Amino acid sequence: MCGIIGYVGHQQALPILIEGLKKLEYRGYDSSGVGIICLDEPKIMIRKCEGKICNLQELLKTHGLPESTIGISHTRWATHGVPSRVNAHPHSDCSGKILVVHNGIIENYQELKSVLVKKGHKFLSQTDTEVIAHLIEEHSEKDFLTAVQKTIRQLRGAFALGVIHSDHPETLIAARIGSPLIIGLGKNENFIASDVPAILDRTAKVIYLKDGELALLRKNLVQVYTFAGKSVRPKIDQVSFTVGSVHKEGFAHFMLKEIHEQPNVLTQMFSSRIKGFQIHLEGLQLTDAELKGFDQMMIVACGTAYHAGLVGKYIIEKLAGISVAVDVSSEFRYRSPIITPKTLILAISQSGETADTLAAVKEAKAKGAKIISICNVLGSSLARESDGVLYTHAGPEIGVASTKAYTAQLAMLYLLALKLSRVRKKISRKTSQELIKDLKEIPSLYQRILKHTQSISRIGHDNAHFGCFLFLGRNLNFPSALEGALKLKEISYIPAEGYAAGEMKHGPIALIDEYRAVVCIAVQSDTYEKMISNIEEIRSRRGKIIAIATEGDDSIKERVHEVIYIPSTNPLLTPLLVALPLQLIAYSIATKRGCDVDQPRNLAKSVTVE
Ligand code: F6R
């Protein structure tokens, strides 16, 4: 969602701010803006506009800004007020001295605004953000830091903020609660940003600001405080991923690059987590005795991560014999889940900043549950809320549609299921070792699938005209069908539904005719015959069938229009393999239709509002 970048230092701020914004484009946005302090006068100056950052760059060509070494900028994903120039950030106060950029939602902005309006403040936008600038103005008889601190204590909701003030042209103030914000430390310069990629080619030294912390930045100083005003000694981290990982490196899109990174992500995960036939889950922070003690697990996640959680349910129940409930995070907290001391909560999130998942975790924590998480982003809010974290280390995922993060989540769930099953002695050592051997083969099977990228894309292109898709799978590939449908709809905007194939005759079969395409996951498994019966049912209603089948299954060719083969593996591991052709189908259909696959409309990479 909204992206923030701020700079104070010795260089020209504007190019740094614009470049940084471009690196945050993947988060999803509808307008952008930049504000600096013109140091000669000094006064604040703003440029903002609707649409892509290139519009802002065009505007800056005709309406340039003077040189300045301090500024803040923003990409906005509309919550309060339509996407427009007026609603774009930064926002200012009545005096025109204060500038604010904000990510998140100020829940009590209406009541604050009414009070401010009564006091004579004039508002220009429909945003919740603007109240922040006016509140700081209200407290301006205090010094800048105190005024911001006083303001923050009046705000309810989740937010990350960047603030500058023309009376204090050497100071940038940042604060966060709920929404992500990092500080980048340079030489004679410092940065704030919503995410590391925005500043990675400037510095790899970062402070992950914690919830309830505020920072004062000058070019050669960073001071961190709690909202209550207590000084804090921040932890400085060195980012381990490289600048290369936030560039396309010759691929047409980040999504395609990230699809092709999957063999590597899993190879690295397995080499660090599997030693001999032992699974090492450093970070989990649970003893074997504790792992034995749980009698139920609840998985909370959203979107693609939720689909990973559904696969997790099948494999954990099968391998470890623990009953697992899976909830979309936004529903979990409203359904009165029954949590006992023997319940283990597992939250899954690529970003670790998804507001719904964080809220679900807080709810479960309040009920006394132990929380573990599978997360990709180091130091994220979810990681901090959890008792134990299993990092997937998939590297930054820039494409909005999750690909490598999904298969990394799945791989981690297999490792967790295997660990639980060994500790609880649910499967024999031999079975466990065979499965581990098969798991370690997956990266090379990925390479084999990716060699067929072109032929899979041809199938996608040939079928890109269909106006509706159904994705069907059974058992642990039912979640794969849900994920295939989500991938397609989010980047191509084609209505797509995922269904358990057995459920088809209870409704969705009504959709099927020669104008619908049906992707059937028909890989070798216990339910293969049943899937074939479903394929026959679709065939007799003239639906166009694209099957994903196992190499060697020649007979399926006669029943369907197109077949994409995956290599043979242990049936339990097929969701890992099936994911790749599903991603490539979605990608090729969306690109054929000319869609912006890396930044689909209306979507945000990190959904930081509930
Ligand atoms: C779909 C997608 C989203 C995310 C969801 C959760 O491709 O990326 O559905 O999976 O917004 O995000 P995280 O995993 O960051 O919690």
Question: Which of 299, 304, 306 to mutate to test ligand 1, by most ligand atoms within 8 A of the CB atom?
Answer: 304
What span, in angstroms and rounded, lies between the C-alpha atoms of 4 and 73?
Answer: 6
Whether 128 and 261 map to the same domain: the answer is: no
Tokens of 314: 């099948």
3 CA → ligand 1 middle, Å: 17
pLDDT at 599: 86
Helix (H, G, I), strand (E, B) or coil at 602: coil
Run of H or E including 408: helix 404-423
Whether 215 and 302 map to the same domain: the answer is: no
Site residues for ligand 1, CB cut-off 6 Å: 302-305, 349-351, 354, 357, 401-402, 486, 490, 606-607
6 CA → ligand 1 middle, Å: 26
* CATH code of the domain covering residue 275: 3.40.50.10490
For 281-397, where are the E strands, in sequence order? 296-301, 323-328, 343-349, 370-375, 388-391
- The residue-averaged pLDDT of 307-315 equals 98
- C-alpha dist (Å) from residue 204 to 3, 6, 162: 19, 16, 20
Starting at the edge strand found earlier in the chain, the sheet holding 70-76 runs 43-50, 31-38, 70-76, 3-8, 190-193, 182-185, 205-208, 237-238
Does residue 446 form part of some domain?
Answer: no
Bridge partners of 3, per DSSP, are 75
Banded model confidence at residue 213, pLDDT cuts 50, 70, 90: very high
Least confident of 24-28, 60-64, 107-111: 24-28
Nearest atom in ligand 1 to the alpha carbon of residue 306 is 10
Q: DSSP letter for 178, please.
A: B
pLDDT tens figures, 99-109:
999 998 899 99
Residues counted in the chain: 610
Whether 148 and 218 map to the same domain: the answer is: yes
Does residue 409 form part of some domain?
Answer: yes
| Amino acid present at 159 | F
> What residue owns the CA closest to ligand 1's atom 3?
303
Tokens of 514: 């020669």
- State the virtual CA torsion across 346, 209, 605, 609 in degrees, nearest 10: 80
Tokens of 481: 């069908």
Among 181, 215, 239, the domain boundary falls at 239
Question: Is there a catalytic annotation at residue 2?
Answer: yes
Which tops the pLDDT comparison, 534 or 1? 534
pLDDT at 245: 67
Run of H or E including 496: strand 496-500
What span, in angstroms and rounded, lies between the C-alpha atoms of 409 and 415?
Answer: 10
610 CA → ligand 1 middle, Å: 13
- The residue-averaged pLDDT of 550-570 equals 97
Does residue 445 form part of some domain?
Answer: no
351 CA → ligand 1 middle, Å: 8
What span, in angstroms and rounded, lies between the C-alpha atoms of 514 and 518?
Answer: 10
Q: Which residues of 67-88 are buried (b: 16+ CB within 10 A; e: fewer)?
A: ebbbbbbbbbbbbebeebeebb
Reply yes or no on whether the pLDDT at 73 is more than 90: yes
Reply yes or no on whether the pLDDT at 498 is more than 70: yes
Q: Which residues of 225-246 are buried (b: 16+ CB within 10 A; e: fewer)?
A: bebeeeebebeebebebeeebb
The three-state DSSP-derived secondary structure of 2-30 is: CEEEEEECCCCHHHHHHHHHHHCHHHCCC
304 CA → ligand 1 middle, Å: 5
405 CA → ligand 1 middle, Å: 9
pLDDT at 606: 75
| Amino acid present at 419 | K
- Name the catalytic one among 2, 49, 302, 595: 2
Reply yes or no on whether the pLDDT at 12 is more than 90: yes
Question: Which of 300, 346, 402, 486 to mutate to test ligand 1, by most ligand atoms within 8 A of the CB atom?
Answer: 402
Nearest atom in ligand 1 to the alpha carbon of residue 302 is 6
pTM to 2 decimal places:
0.84
Whether 545 and 511 map to the same domain: the answer is: yes
> What residue owns the CA closest to ligand 1's atom 16?
349
What span, in angstroms and rounded, lies between the C-alpha atoms of 372 and 364?
Answer: 11
Among 184, 209, 239, the domain boundary falls at 239
Tokens of 394: 């998939």
Residues 6+ apart with CB under 8 A from 516: 466, 468, 469, 470, 543, 544
- C-alpha dist (Å) from residue 172 to 106, 132, 146: 21, 15, 13
Whether 533 and 571 map to the same domain: the answer is: yes
Reply yes or no on whether the pLDDT at 601 is more than 90: no
- C-alpha dist (Å) from residue 13 to 68, 113, 549: 6, 32, 54
Q: DSSP letter for 209, please.
A: P
Bridge partners of 324, per DSSP, are 297
> What residue owns the CA closest to ligand 1's atom 6?
302
Nearest atom in ligand 1 to the alpha carbon of residue 403 is 7
Least confident of 76-80, 135-139, 448-452, 482-486: 76-80
Question: Which of 605, 607, 609 to mutate to test ligand 1, by most ligand atoms within 8 A of the CB atom?
Answer: 607
Reply yes or no on whether the pLDDT at 241 is more than 90: no
- Name the catalytic one among 22, 219, 487, 605: 605
Whether 274 and 179 map to the same domain: the answer is: no
Does residue 208 form part of some domain?
Answer: yes
pLDDT at 78: 86
What span, in angstroms and rounded, lies between the C-alpha atoms of 571 and 46?
Answer: 58
Nearest atom in ligand 1 to the alpha carbon of residue 406 is 10
Question: Is there a catalytic annotation at residue 150?
Answer: no
Domain of residue 525, residue span: 451-610
pLDDT at 243: 64
The dihedrals phi and psi of 195, each to the nearest 5 degrees, come to: -155, 155
Number of domains in the chain: 3
* CATH code of the domain covering residue 65: 3.60.20.10
- The residue-averaged pLDDT of 375-401 equals 91
302 CA → ligand 1 middle, Å: 6
- The residue-averaged pLDDT of 599-603 equals 85
Nearest atom in ligand 1 to the alpha carbon of residue 377 is 15
The answer to whether the beta carbons of residues 7 and 71 sit under 8 Å apart is yes
Residues 6+ apart with CB under 8 A from 103: 1, 2, 3, 4, 74, 159, 160, 179, 180, 181, 194, 608
Whether 570 and 597 map to the same domain: the answer is: yes
What span, in angstroms and rounded, lies between the C-alpha atoms of 69 and 488?
Answer: 44
Least confident of 52-61, 75-84, 406-415: 75-84
> What residue owns the CA closest to ligand 1's atom 5?
303
Whether 333 and 386 map to the same domain: the answer is: yes
- The residue-averaged pLDDT of 416-437 equals 95
303 CA → ligand 1 middle, Å: 5
Mean pLDDT of the chain: 94
- The residue-averaged pLDDT of 79-97 equals 93
Whether 340 and 224 map to the same domain: the answer is: no
The answer to whether the beta carbons of residues 240 and 231 sit under 8 Å apart is no
Whether 231 and 260 map to the same domain: the answer is: no
Nearest to 457 by CA among 594, 546, 589: 589
pLDDT at 244: 64
> What residue owns the CA closest to ligand 1's atom 11?
303
Q: Which residues of 394-425 are buried (b: 16+ CB within 10 A; e: fewer)?
A: bbbbbbbbbbbbbbbbbbbbbbbbbbbbbbbe
Nearest to 219 by CA among 384, 34, 10, 65: 10
Among 440, 471, 497, the domain boundary falls at 440
pLDDT at 460: 97
Nearest atom in ligand 1 to the alpha carbon of residue 382 is 16
Whether 157 and 250 map to the same domain: the answer is: no
| Amino acid present at 161 | L
H helices within 234-302, ranges in order?
254-260, 262-273, 288-293
Does residue 270 form part of some domain?
Answer: yes
Whether 100 and 208 map to the same domain: the answer is: yes
Question: Which of 351, 398, 608 to mutate to test ligand 1, by most ligand atoms within 8 A of the CB atom?
Answer: 351
Does residue 502 form part of some domain?
Answer: yes
The answer to whether the beta carbons of residues 597 and 466 sit under 8 Å apart is no
pLDDT at 219: 96
Reply yes or no on whether the pLDDT at 140 is more than 70: yes
Reply yes or no on whether the pLDDT at 439 is more than 90: yes
What span, in angstroms and rounded, lies between the C-alpha atoms of 579 and 63?
Answer: 47
Looking up tokens 């216990």 gives 526
349 CA → ligand 1 middle, Å: 7
